[in-house]
Structure 1
Amino acid sequence: MKMSTFWSEFLNAAANHPFPSMPIDLLSPFDLQTNEEFFPNVPAAPGMPCAGEDRSIYRRGARRWRKLYRVNGHIFQAKRFNRRAFCAFCQDRIWGLGRQGFKCIQCKLLVHKKCHKLVQKPCSNEHVDPIEVKDDANGESTLGRASSVRSRAEIEPPLPETPPAPAPAPPRADELEPGSQRQYSLDDFELIRVIGRGSYAKVLMVELKRTKRVYAMKVIKKALVTDDEDIDWVQTEKHVFETASNHPFLVGLHSCFQTPSRLFFVIEFVRGGDLMFHMQRQRRLPEEHARFYAAEISLALHFLHERGVIYRDLKLDNVLLDHEGHIKLTDYGMCKEGVRPGDTTSTFCGTPNYIAPEILRGEEYGFSVDWWALGVLTYEMLAGRSPFDIAQAADNPDQNTEDYLFQVILEKTIRIPRSLSVKAASVLKGFLNKNPVERLGCGENGFLDIVSHPFFKSIEWEMLEQKQVVPPFKPRLEGERDLANFPPEFTDEPVHLTPDNDTVIADIDQSEFEGFEYVNPLLMSLEDCV
């Protein structure tokens, strides 16, 4: 009997024949027999989802918590200024690339990043007198202070009602004259299928019409890139994609282009699916498989670290398998670039289950957080579960929260399954050391400590980096466009982009995306040979 039918008959009976009902008569889901099911279907095989069950609910997305700086009641946030602005403390001009200044989100006070700790005037929670830029008789800029407090609309004039005419669309790649610089547009690609979706982006499988080659296309709506931090991560992702194009275990970039409403990354299409998809079917991996994947991931991370990039988003979802079974890391939106040896950063970001203790403690951190995440991922491959699995506490609301998960990561002693070998247990303890100074890969010898660890003794590192080691598992694929290794909740989606909204486009500052276009010169030369 359906639940709706039961309650309908129950209420009719209660209306005609009143009777007492005690709470003890109520049925709790935890009292159900084990053969009861919440999904109206039976899985095709153990570990497989039921029909109608959405696996995406089990994927934890990465987040970047907004960084605020509190000084004397001010709440400063890093800000990029597109107009002339001057520091309220030292009265020098605020300029430069990136988020070069701070702005109080309450009183709108503008200061240099270097000056914000020196501000002694308490925040009034009201708009302060902004510093004006006045032109004297000689046409030179001088500083003056406004005579009265003005509204934010007066301080920061709104965009003109009539937006500037959009630039003409670039010519199609096949319309260019020989020898001219190639640019790509949406017209150059055939949209085939949706293969992924995130908080900000949709990922499509596409075909370049001129060469018939298949790529993945990451599509980001500009309207969702709402503040300076979002713009920064888009630029960072592009830069890391360019760098990654030279490594066998990192997804590389083909090209970038834009329309008035969207940004497009055209990247390598990796056909074997991600490790999350395969782990949901295999539950756990043999040590030989986990060792192979962990070694290739280590090489990819080491490559990024040598080039000053902290990855910060290693997880099963971001480890892809190519058609041969080699791994490729993808999704560089959480990366931190420009990190030199000894440099640190402090942004609170990542996927909750993989965040390192030093991030949770609010400490400055460096490349150590990537080796911690590799430890979590290796544990998941070997044990079939997270080292911080709080699913057993689902019946206790106080223990089923993100804060509780962070407490577990900081305080819980990690238990290594007894079924694992001594070498596997040792490498997990090394990567999952809560002290980043003592963590495997973070000592004086750095990456060499990982290479020489007994768990990786059987790895021929030079051959591995040249992809001369046969992978332990090869995804089953039937043709270049086979999507059997991608979740059907994505591939079953209709392939289309929603029509542009002129009102939304008018509110987008297109100058923020100048210079986004890019074509990988190596791939372009290869296509010229087709």
Structure 2
Amino acid sequence: MRQTSIKSYCILVSSQPKYYWKMVQNKNEDCFIELFSLLCDQRKPVKGRISQRSKVFPNVPAAPGMPCTGEDRSIYRRGARRWRKLYRVNGHIFQAKRFNRRAFCAYCQDRIWGLGRQGFKCIQCKLLVHKKCHKLVQKPCSNEHVDPIEVKDDANGESTLGRAASVRSRAEPEPPLPETPPAPVAAPVRNEDLEPGSQRQYSLEDFELIRVIGRGSYAKVLMVELKRTKRVYAMKVIKKALVTDDEDIDWVQTEKHVFETASNHPFLVGLHSCFQTPSRLFFVIEFVRGGDLMFHMQRQRRLPEEHARFYAAEISLALHFLHERGVIYRDLKLDNVLLDHEGHIKLTDYGMCKEGVRPGDTTSTFCGTPNYIAPEILRGEEYGFSVDWWALGVLTYEMLAGRSPFDISHAADNPDQNTEDYLFQVILEKTIRIPRSLSVKAASVLKGFLNKSPSERLGCGEGGFLDIVSHPFFKSIEWEMLEQKQVVPPFKPRLEGERDLANFPPEFTDEPVHLTPDNDTEIADIDQSEFEGFEYVNPLLMSLEDCV
């Protein structure tokens, strides 16, 4: 390495003269190795590449929240996704399904029952089978609709099995079914109609819609005011038509349960109430006024180590709280970390959560936001709480370095490298480089969280969360005081009032505030029984309102 021509390094030195030239003069071997690896990298000219890799945002925006000149918006605010698992047998394409009615296996004719996704359904011929039976199906799929096994009640009220005799081609028109009105949704109960001590229910009429503050893959988030108390909340609106297919309804119910659990923690966004209309579901949640970390990173590029340590510690407490209650968060990213009016963090958006996970349990759903997905998920392995600590490592790296540890923004001009598959390959294979500007303790905690082996990752060993608490990077943190919000945050968002939206992206707040009119045809296709029992009111928040 030392025999490599110094002249070769001058190409690189010219782009970073104060740093590299000094290191070359001092014959620093680590610098030689780094420069040589960059020089041998067959990509864009070195000077351009270094400037691109140094930070996420190329320059200062015209105003807070506005895009930077030349900014590539595709490298952030990516929505989380679930990649659905498909099982192919004899031409069938099976997908795990949940069944609200009595269903029977087409192979063994036994009833398909249980919790969650109890069986498989072919997405082409609609064949229903047990999970244990799907590999034994002999009949190939012909893309024809197969009527499920019917359940008939005899005169005594007992169920008897009968197999449908007809096999109907998809091209063949199905006989018209008698029109049945959708299951009625309970009318909103007004406060004055309630007996003393009964629980109040809410409807859309109880709220004034003020402004759009966010939008996801299947939901819109509004700032609203409860007319009775004049309190401001956020309202997450989900169209039922977007969640009735496949297992989306399971995920909505999971999100509701986690919202209820999160209401007891200072660093998690809690739930005020839930209600529904024939076309939509509504989550009324805490309104966190300070904006998200992604918005603030747009303005600050990178955070001081003290700030990143504070946020990482509060996030750790929030994740630990969820883990103790059997919840894997699975969607930690800058967009989902909000700042309240004092500067404390609050995690939000529980749509990717997995609940009911006991110590030692694992799951295998392939889901998450691409830049934050842990290697064990990409390898198709069973995983547990370890994926959340990996995501915290990625997020901490972004806060400290101002860019992703798997930055592929340089690949924007190369179609082969500007894909999710390439990003996943980088996550699995790339050696993560820690910026030299970071302290030894910061580099250590990043290496601990970003260990590609889950068993060796920080927070996943025998010590669990205590390993994080005792890490030198967090030595200055008073954990008990932090959990009680008695530590002064390093940054306080500028807010002029309770309704100030200066910390929210204008791309959302400039949208018109209205809900599209209901489509009667679309509503008629919705199985309203799927959403029975969705209504909820948080008794703690209700008692606070009654004190107003």
The two structures have a TM-score, normalised by structure 1, of: 0.87
For 1:425 and 1:348, the matched residues in 2 are separated by: 29
Q: Is the 8 A contact 1:47 1:283 kept in 2?
A: no
Match of 1:27 in 2: 36
For 1:25 and 1:420, the matched residues in 2 are separated by: 16
Say if 1:136 and 1:220 are closer, same or farther in 2 by CA, change over 3 A: closer
Shift of 1:139: 4.5
For 2:303 and 2:405, the matched residues in 1 are separated by: 15
Q: Is the 8 A contact 1:196 1:202 kept in 2?
A: yes
Q: Return 287-296 or 88-97, whichever deviates more.
A: 88-97
Shift of 1:465: 0.6
Say if 1:489 and 1:130 are closer, same or farther in 2 by CA, change over 3 A: closer
Q: Could you give the per-residue CA deviations for residues 194-230 of structure 1, whole angstroms, max 9, x where no partner exists? A: 1111111111111111111111000111111141321
Does 1:328 pair with 2:337? no
Q: Is the 8 A contact 1:48 1:281 kept in 2?
A: no
Q: Is the 8 A contact 1:130 1:155 kept in 2?
A: no
For 1:61 and 1:167, the matched residues in 2 are separated by: 31
Say if 1:26 and 1:335 are closer, same or farther in 2 by CA, change over 3 A: closer
Q: Return 96-105 or 464-473, whichever deviates more.
A: 96-105
For 1:131 and 1:154, the matched residues in 2 are separated by: 20
Q: Could you give the per-residue CA deviations for residues 15-60 of structure 1, whole angstroms, max 9, x where no partner exists? A: xxxxxxxxx99999xxx99999999999426995259989688411
Q: Is the 8 A contact 2:182 2:526 kept in 1?
A: no
Find the residue that maps to 1:155 and give its secondary structure.
Answer: coil
For 1:25 and 1:94, the matched residues in 2 are separated by: 59
Of structures 1 and 2, the one with the larger relative CO (CA 8 A, separation 6+) is 2
Q: Is the 8 A contact 2:61 2:299 kept in 1?
A: no
For 1:499 and 1:67, the matched residues in 2 are separated by: 34
For 1:72 and 1:221, the matched residues in 2 are separated by: 36
The two structures have a TM-score, normalised by structure 2, of: 0.85
Say if 1:111 and 1:154 are closer, same or farther in 2 by CA, change over 3 A: farther
**What's the C-alpha RMSD, in Å, of the aligned pairs?**
5.3
Q: Is the 8 A contact 2:289 2:340 kept in 1?
A: yes
Shift of 1:132: 3.2
Q: Is the 8 A contact 2:119 2:131 kept in 1?
A: yes
Q: Is the 8 A contact 1:354 1:373 kept in 2?
A: yes
Q: Is the 8 A contact 2:183 2:527 kept in 1?
A: no
Identity of aligned residues (%): 95
Does 1:264 pair with 2:282? yes
Say if 1:45 and 1:204 are closer, same or farther in 2 by CA, change over 3 A: closer
Shift of 1:390: 0.4
For 2:247 and 2:429, the matched residues in 1 are separated by: 31
Say if 1:63 and 1:25 are closer, same or farther in 2 by CA, change over 3 A: closer
Say if 1:160 and 1:181 are closer, same or farther in 2 by CA, change over 3 A: farther
For 1:398 and 1:67, the matched residues in 2 are separated by: 25
Q: Return 129-138 or 378-387, whichever deviates more.
A: 129-138
Shift of 1:160: 4.4
Say if 1:391 and 1:89 are closer, same or farther in 2 by CA, change over 3 A: same
Say if 1:350 and 1:101 are closer, same or farther in 2 by CA, change over 3 A: same
Q: Is the 8 A contact 2:268 2:347 kept in 1?
A: yes
Of the three residues 172, 193, 202, the one matched with 1:175 is: 193
Q: Could you give the per-residue CA deviations for residues 133-186 of structure 1, whole angstroms, max 9, x where no partner exists? A: 344565532223333424579999987424147345212346645423200011
Say if 1:412 and 1:184 are closer, same or farther in 2 by CA, change over 3 A: same
Match of 2:98 in 1: 80
Say if 1:253 and 1:93 are closer, same or farther in 2 by CA, change over 3 A: same
For 1:26 and 1:300, the matched residues in 2 are separated by: 40
Q: Is the 8 A contact 2:55 2:401 kept in 1?
A: no
Q: Could you give the per-residue CA deviations for residues 60-84 of structure 1, whole angstroms, max 9, x where no partner exists? A: 1101111222344432111222332
Q: Is the 8 A contact 2:65 2:503 kept in 1?
A: no
For 2:344 and 2:376, the matched residues in 1 are separated by: 31
For 1:404 and 1:25, the matched residues in 2 are separated by: 23
Find the residue that maps to 1:254 and give its secondary structure.
Answer: strand
Q: Is the 8 A contact 1:70 1:76 kept in 2?
A: yes
Q: Return 422-431 or 55-64, whichever deviates more.
A: 55-64
Say if 1:117 and 1:444 are closer, same or farther in 2 by CA, change over 3 A: farther
Shift of 1:497: 1.1
For 1:64 and 1:182, the matched residues in 2 are separated by: 35
Say if 1:183 and 1:135 are closer, same or farther in 2 by CA, change over 3 A: closer
Say if 1:121 and 1:478 are closer, same or farther in 2 by CA, change over 3 A: same
Segments of structure 1 that go 5 or more residues without pairing to the other structure are: 1-5, 8-23
Q: Could you give the per-residue CA deviations for residues 475-496 of structure 1, whole angstroms, max 9, x where no partner exists? A: 1111111111001111111111
Q: Is the 8 A contact 2:343 2:493 kept in 1?
A: yes
Find the residue that maps to 1:114 and give its secondary structure.
Answer: coil
Shift of 1:395: 1.5
Say if 1:322 and 1:153 are closer, same or farther in 2 by CA, change over 3 A: farther
Q: Deviation above 6 Å: which 4+ runs of structure 1? A: 24-28, 32-42, 51-54, 152-159
Shift of 1:499: 1.3
Find the residue that maps to 1:205 and give its secondary structure.
Answer: strand
Q: Return 51-60 or 371-380, whichever deviates more.
A: 51-60
Say if 1:34 and 1:261 are closer, same or farther in 2 by CA, change over 3 A: closer
Say if 1:175 and 1:151 are closer, same or farther in 2 by CA, change over 3 A: same
Q: Return 70-79 or 449-458, whichever deviates more.
A: 70-79
For 1:57 and 1:171, the matched residues in 2 are separated by: 46
Say if 1:513 and 1:409 are closer, same or farther in 2 by CA, change over 3 A: same
Shift of 1:192: 1.0
Q: Is the 8 A contact 2:182 2:527 kept in 1?
A: no
